Structure 1
Amino acid sequence: MNLTDFSVYCPHGPHNFRVATEGPLSDLRLVYKDLYHVAGYPTGAGNPTWLNTHEPAAATSPVLLKLMNAGMQIIGRVQTDELAYSLNGCNIHYGTPVNPAAPDRLPGGSSSGSAVAVARGDADVGLGTDTGGSIRVPACYNGLFGIRPTHGRLSSEHMVPLAPRFDTPGWLCRDAATLERVGAQLFGATPVKTERVDLLWATSLFDLLPEDLCTAIVPIKQQLAACVASLHEWDFAPARLSELNNTFRTLQGREVARTHSAWVSQHPDAFAADIAERFQWASQLTAEDEALAEETCQQWKAEIIARLETACLVIPTTPDLAPLRSASDADLADFRMKLLGLTALAGLAGLPQVHLPLVKVAGVPFGFSIIGKPGSDMQLLALVRLFSDVIGEEKPDEAK
């Protein structure tokens, strides 16, 4: 572990401490994203100008405090993309951390430090946040389990926000059992018994994947079908992804502008060009844009929640393997548009989603996600543990 690797760890800490020496999670090590406040310390939000213009926090995040009080060893504060407004894991000020699972590819963000620290073994749990995919995407890229909980299930108090109507704490682990243990602590619940459930398989979305990824997923579908009550095809028109992408980006952008426009306008040179452009785009959205997007959002939310009342949905988490570190800005922008269509499915409706890293292609991590109805977080975590046990030791041969 190298705490002076500032592409992963934040120089302002705090690092290496415990609040409680005993507790249900005392055997686990934790890193936490640089959006979570720790009383008496500044929060940098991945941006040195933000760090230098904000006072030390007056209180600690209740989510972080709950894990501290459960006995976890706190390894340290880790980096995020600037104000969490990206999915790449690149930070112009601190660098791009190396993805331990695929060093020539991006680590994903905005919970980049959380994912990389866990993937390389520095910690057992990476506490991050998810607004538009910031847990789910780095989980996929780094070969980790990761959960975006039901929106509002966990407190977002004493955190730096991005778009509050979508922001949620989340976490990443190398194994499903640890993911579930942390969930039991944060939700104040006991692990639930796994039950045979009905699955909806998003065939039309898996068909959009490159051929080698489609091939790698086929055995997974067969294995899951053998351990659930039923598996049905989900009738979804892929053309809708663009509409849902635009809907999410508009609603997120209006939230971002409300939350940060005053500070951003006072510090116009504080950000990397792509993120500055994103803030500028958000500031130009209108109330009419938001109203139209809200109508689509509510229609989608009603539709998907009704569909998930008696089943869970399986989708690809990302549209392809993690982009190469050498990818052009244009290619990354195009990839982002495809990616946000997938992450919007759960994000717009505030649904829990868990990524399972049970697929590799030519040694590069991939996987899939399970989405459940609101409040089904512990049921999802139990299901993920079951699927991990069933598939884990019998992973299909990697595609060549």
Structure 2
Amino acid sequence: MDLADFSVYCPHGPHNFRTTQEGALSDLRLVYKDLYHVAGYPTGAGNPTWLHTHEPAAATSPVLLQLMNAGMQIIGRVQTDELAYSLNGCNIHYGTPANPAAPDRLPGGSSSGSAVAVARGEADVGLGTDTGGSIRVPACYNGLFGIRPTHGRLSSEHMVPLAPRFDTPGWLCRDAVTLERVGAVLFGAAPLKPEAVDLLWATTLFDLLPEALRTAIAPLKQQIVACAVSVNGWDFDPVRLSELNNTFRTLQGREVARTHSAWAMQHLDAFAPDIAERFQWASQLTADAEAQAEEACQQWKAEIIAQLDTAFLVIPTTPDLAPLRSASDADLADFRMKLLGLTALAGLAGLPQIHLPLVKVNGVPFGLSIIGKPGSDMQLLALARLFSDAIGKDN
């Protein structure tokens, strides 16, 4: 472990500490994203100008406190894309960390440091956040299990926000058992006995994947079917992904503008060009656009929650393998649009989603996600363990 690798670890701390030797997670090591406040220390949010223009935190994140009080060894504070407003894992100030699972590909973000430190084996748990996919995407790219909890189930207090109506803490691990252990502590609930459930398989979305990924997923589906009570196709028109993408981006953008425009518009030259452009775009969104997006969001939320009343939904987490590090800005922008359509399915409705890294394609990690109804987080964690045991992570 190299704490001087500033593409992964932050120059500011605190690093290397624990508050107690006792607790349910005392055998585990933790890294935490540079959005979580630690009392007495500054939070950088992936941007040096932010770091130097904000006072040290007055209080520690309740989620981080829970994990500290559970006995975890804190390895250190890790990098994020600037103010978490990206999914690539690139940071113009600190560099792009190498993806340990696929060094020629991006690590994903914005929880890039959390994912890479866990994938490198330097920590057992990477505490991150997810707004538009910032746990789910790096989990997929780095071959990790990751959970975006039901929105609002975990406290987002004493964190640097991006878009509060979508922000949620989340975490990444190399195995489903550890993912579930952390959930038991944070949710204050005992692990559930894994039981077969009814699944909805998003056939039309899996059909959008490149042929190599469809071929790799096919045997995985058969193994999952064997673990389920029933598996039915989900009748979803993929053309709607563009609508959901636009709805999410508009609502997120208005939240971002309310949260950060006053500061960001005064410091645009402190951001990478793509992120500065995103802040400028968000600041120009209108109240009418937000009202229309809100109506679409509420309709979608009612629709999908009704679908999940008695079943869990299985979808591709991302539209393809992690982009190459050499991908052009235009290609990355195009990929982002496709990606946000998928992540918006759960994000708009505040639903819990787990990524399972149960397949590789030519050695590159890929996998799928399970989405559940609000509050089904512990059931999802049990399902992740069930499917992982049945299939094997190195399948």
Q: Tell whether the structures are fold-level matches, with TM greater than 0.5.
A: yes
Specify the SS of the correspondent of 1:269.
helix
Give the structure 1 partner of residue 59 of structure 2. 59
Q: Distance in 1 between matches of 2:184 and 2:393?
A: 25
| Equivalent position amino acid for 2:342 in 1 | L
- Give CA deviations for 1:106-164 in whole Å, capped at 9, x if unaligned: 00000000000000000000000000000000000000000000000000000000000
Are 1:390 and 2:390 an aligned pair? yes
Give the structure 1 partner of residue 2 of structure 2. 2
Give the structure 1 partner of residue 75 of structure 2. 75
Report runs of 4+ in structure 1 exceeding 3 Å deviation. Answer: none
Are 1:148 and 2:143 an aligned pair? no
Give the gaps of 5 or more residues in structure 2.
none
- More displaced 10-residue stretch of structure 1: 52-61 or 261-270: 261-270
Are 1:188 and 2:209 an aligned pair? no
CA contact (8 A) 2:18 2:73 kept: yes
Q: Distance in 1 between matches of 2:96 and 2:165?
A: 28
Q: Distance in 1 between matches of 2:177 and 2:129?
A: 20
Q: In the TM superposition, what is the alpha-carbon distance from 1:195 to its structure 2 partner?
A: 1.7
TM-score by length of structure 1 reads 0.98
Q: Distance in 1 between matches of 2:387 and 2:297?
A: 31
| Equivalent position amino acid for 1:382 in 2 | A
Give the gaps of 5 or more residues in structure 1.
396-400
Give the structure 1 partner of residue 247 of structure 2. 247
Superposed, 1:376-387 pairs within 5 Å as 376-387=376-387
Superposed, 1:132-281 pairs within 5 Å as 132-281=132-281
- Give CA deviations for 1:39-89 in whole Å, capped at 9, x if unaligned: 000000000000000000000000000000000000000000000000000
Q: In the TM superposition, what is the alpha-carbon distance from 1:295 to its structure 2 partner?
A: 0.4
Are 1:23 and 2:29 an aligned pair? no
Q: Distance in 2 between matches of 1:267 and 1:228?
A: 52
Q: Distance in 1 between matches of 2:142 and 2:394?
A: 20
Give the structure 1 partner of residue 314 of structure 2. 314
Give the structure 1 partner of residue 362 of structure 2. 362
Give the structure 2 partner of residue 296 of structure 1. 296
Give the structure 2 partner of residue 284 of structure 1. 284
Q: Distance in 1 between matches of 2:330 and 2:394?
A: 38
Q: In the TM superposition, what is the alpha-carbon distance from 1:194 to its structure 2 partner?
A: 1.4
Q: In the TM superposition, what is the alpha-carbon distance from 1:394 to its structure 2 partner?
A: 7.5
Q: Distance in 1 between matches of 2:394 and 2:74?
A: 34
CA contact (8 A) 2:352 2:376 kept: yes
Q: Distance in 1 between matches of 2:175 and 2:208?
A: 28
Specify the SS of the correspondent of 2:265.
helix
TM-score by length of structure 2 reads 1.00
Q: Distance in 2 between matches of 1:181 and 1:151?
A: 20
Q: In the TM superposition, what is the alpha-carbon distance from 1:393 to its structure 2 partner?
A: 6.5
- Give CA deviations for 1:207-251 in whole Å, capped at 9, x if unaligned: 000000000000011111111100000000000000000000000
Give the structure 2 partner of residue 46 of structure 1. 46
CA RMSD of aligned residues (A): 0.6
Aligned length: 395
